[in-house]
Structure formats: structure tokens, C-alpha cells
Structure 1
């Protein structure tokens, strides 16, 4: 899931199911192996060098810059493997890891203060008119550079992230929903959730894995749209959403509800997630290795 607020953070919570994931959010299920992250960083560096050359051609200074990658912690690895106790401890505090962003913000485990991107200062020194031209050139150059490095047609880095999410979802839909063991486990999980009073609209493995996070994400997105009419409609295909501005008390109440839902989800799905999570991680890592930055 791409969750946007101010500042922006990225995640694949809804694609992977269970817990939200990002270096700016709680410990996650999207961290990949060191070898994968290294090759992705190399690819991102290539994009940055190409972008700098392109920006220079448009009359703007740009410094190639790649945020350092954070290797997965032991807790990350346990979550990735579908470890029940690790998942339970995570959900008891963060739920699915979505509204917890509003409650804990910079206090989240695994959160780090990234180094300052030097290009922010370069852009901020420009006039308003120049900043608009800079932003347009930045998106154009980034799209061209990503195309050269990954072969993907995109309009910006954000668009690239959304399209990678879609590729992951498509492969998951094929391989996860077609797995007989996961089909059986997902059906049992859905029956358990219905018995607890939750409304399940599908018993397909990927739908079962995503439903809780998707429901919370959609609700938060709709709240954000009430405050800002420019926000587009929720797009479940891209697993993308916005976070609203809530008071601390409102955010806490929302998270408490999310935690209860996430714990029910885990109790009903502990056998399911033990099989699903490693498979989902493998798919996300392989797609990321091929197309990600």
C-alpha cells in the first residue's frame, strides 16, 4: 500500500497482507535480502546519474542521491517468515501498521532520520516560477531515466512505485490464489472471521490476506478526501491511499479499533499466514529485483 500524508511514506501492506511495511513505518514484511537491496540500490544510483545529466540539459543543477538502505532486522525476518509470536506482538501495538503512522510517527521501531537530500535545498533556493519548472523537469527526467534502467514506461518515481505494486499484485493473484494449500487455509480463516462477526466478501487467499488492511486504508482515505477534495478516489488496484489529519485522541481510537481487528485476523489466520507470508515475500522480492528501485 502506498500511504500518503505529510511527509509521504511508502508501503506494500495491502499487497503483502498483515503488517504495513516501510523504513518510515513499523518493522516490516517488505524488507528483502541484502543481495536484492544492493542490486536495487545500484539500479537506483544509475537512475540518479541519468537524471542529473538530464536535469543539467534542462538548465537545472541536480545531485545524484540515493537514500541508504536499511537491512532487515531480526524482527523483520521473523515477520517475513510468518512467525506467530512476532506478528502478535507487532499487531498488539500497531494493528496492520496503517493508522499507527498517525499515532507513533517518528517513534516507530525501525524508523530512522534519513540524511537530507541536497536537492531539496537546491529547489528551495529557486523562485516560485522556477520551482514549478524544476518540478516538471524532475518528473520528466526521472521518468526517462527509469525507462532506460528498468524498461518501464512511467510518468514519475511515484508512478513507478504504483506500477511495481500492480505487478506484484498480478503475480500474487496468479500464484497465491492458485495454491491449493493456501486456498484451503484461506477458506478456514474466512469462516473463523465470519464466526467472530466480521463480514468477509471473498475467501480467496489474496483477498483474505488483504481485507483488513484494505478496509482500514479505505476508511482513512475517505476521511482524507473529506478534508481535501483534490484527493483522487481510493484505488484498490494500486493499493494506494492517503492519511487524514486526525487529533491525537481520534488517531488513538482509530488505532485501537485497528488493533482489535488485526488480532482477530491473526488468530483466525495464524496457520494461513505461516504459509502465505514467505510465499508473498518471495514474490515481492523477485518482482522488486527485476523492476524495483
Structure 2
């Protein structure tokens, strides 16, 4: 499994595909409506039919528990429960792998098209993937006006836009700056390392600290990481006993981070979620 060092954002996963040849598209209307995901899926199904492939229009539903949703939005008790078991979420999956599976928002096998594709020969699956990527790109452009070359490109553009808006809107917010500064001072008093007091940086500092530890393990294990793009590496194989030692330290750091940042997260995380959802809607919402 390849680990991507990207932004930790609230949003739906995208299913990967390949590029293909274009077809003519009608006039673009950038609506941003709630039914955009369904419209996109309907257009994808029609496009795939034109290419001789079966495709079922399908919009995934997020499968996130109420507690996890509350934690995403800065609820103190929900965050404390989450962090008491999983810390910042870096080493927990090595200790509780079954929990990680339960927390997946949705997976490719949930789609009715997973079985459709698996019934094809290898050559047909390759052609199917190319057609699907082309159809998704065309449908997205028709509904939203966004130009993407693949699902990976779409995710990259979404993350970049979210990062820009977080920086512009949240790092410049006087109240969030005040709360982030107070959080940083508190953490320094507990012996924590704080490189930046900017709100966006404060929200990520803990996870990034332990992510760096995991990356160091990955880059020094016996799994070659050569040939991968910058910032990517293969997940390391860490024995449960060793991972638990890391997780114990991570949990303590995450709880200290939460105690110092209780007021900050309550104000910051709902704003982050709002921005992420706004951008997701601009890109057609959470279509599959």
C-alpha cells in the first residue's frame, strides 16, 4: 500500500482510472447544486453506454459514525474518545487494523460497477478503465465546468483549492490566530515543539510529527521505495508490539494537544469542514 503525504482533509475518496479519447459535450452550466453528483453519474452511465460498456449510476453514501463526525467538527468529548484510542491516527491502524477497515468512508467494492468490471477480461478491464476516466472527466466538465484529466488530478485540484482557501480564510482570521497562539503557548509549556503558530499549521502539527516518525521507519525498512513520486512511500511493516509503543506516545501527545487546543479546534474544525464541502460541491460533490 502506498502512503501519500497529502493534506488531512474531510471528504470522500476518489476511485482511480485512466485517460481516454473525448466525446462531444453540451454547453457547460456551473450550478453547484446538491443533485450534481447524480447528474454526473447519469452522464457517465450514458457515456459508457455509447462506448459499449455497462455502467450503473451510483453515488456513494458516507459511512461515518456520529462520534467520528462529531470529532471531525471539534466536539471535545468525541475528540477525546477518538484520541484516547487512536492518537492522531498515524500508528493506530498497525495496532487495530480491523478498526481502520471499519472507518473507510466507502470503498470501490461498494459500487455495483465493481462486479461489472471484474467480469471483464484483463484487456477489457483496461479499456473499461480508460473509457470510465474519459467519461468522468467529460461529465464533470459538462456539469461544473472543471477540467480534470483523471480522478487523481481531480483530487489534486480539490486539495490545492482547499489549501488555498484555508490559508486565505483561516490563517488570516484574528480569532483563530488568537486561539492558535494560546494553544501553542500551552503546548510549549508542556514541552511540545511548535514550529508555527498559524492556525492551519497548528491543526496539523501533531499528526505531522508522528507521520514523520512513520515515514522514517518506512524509508529505512526492507521495502524499496525507489521509483515512487516525491512524498510517497510504501507503508512499513511494523510489529504490533512496536507499533503499540509508538501509539502510546502518540495518544499522550494527542491528548495534550487536545487539552491545549480545546477552544481552537471547536472554532477551527467546523470552518475547515465547511470549506472542504464548498470545494467538493464546486467539483460536483461526492460522486462515485
Shorter-chain TM-score: which interval? Answer: 0.7 to 0.9
What residue number does 2:226 align with?
229
Runs of 4+ that moved beyond 4 A? 108-115, 221-226
Shift of the alpha carbon at 1:222?
5.7
Q: Taking structure 1 as reference, are residues 112 and 78 closer, same or farther at Cα in structure 2, changes over 3 Å only?
A: closer
Q: Taking structure 1 as reference, are residues 229 and 145 closer, same or farther at Cα in structure 2, changes over 3 Å only?
A: farther
**TM-score relative to the length of structure 1:** 0.74
Per-residue displacement from partner, 1:183-240 (whole Å, max 9, x unpaired)? 12212222222333332221111111112223334544565566343432228xxxxx
Q: Taking structure 1 as reference, are residues 55 and 96 closer, same or farther at Cα in structure 2, changes over 3 Å only?
A: same
Q: Which has the larger radius of gyration?
A: 2
Secondary structure at 1:14 match in 2: coil
1:188-267 matched pairs, under 5 angstroms = 188-221=182-215, 223-224=217-218, 227=223, 228-234=225-231, 243-267=235-259
**TM-score relative to the length of structure 2:** 0.75
Total equivalences in the alignment: 261
Q: CA separation in 1, counterparts of 2:138 and 2:237?
A: 34
Pairwise CA RMSD: 3.3
Shift of the alpha carbon at 1:93?
0.7
For structure 1, the 5+ residue unaligned runs are 24-38, 236-240
Determine which of 259, 282, 286 is the counterpart of 2:274.
Answer: 282
Q: Taking structure 1 as reference, are residues 49 and 219 closer, same or farther at Cα in structure 2, changes over 3 Å only?
A: farther
Per-residue displacement from partner, 1:83-106 (whole Å, max 9, x unpaired)? 322211211111123432343344
What residue number does 1:34 align with?
none
Shift of the alpha carbon at 1:176?
0.9
Shift of the alpha carbon at 1:271?
2.3
Q: Does 1:49 align with 2:46?
A: no
For structure 2, the 5+ residue unaligned runs are 14-32
Q: Which has the higher contact order (CA 8 A, sep 6+)?
A: 2
What residue number does 1:30 align with?
none
Q: Taking structure 1 as reference, are residues 57 and 222 closer, same or farther at Cα in structure 2, changes over 3 Å only?
A: farther
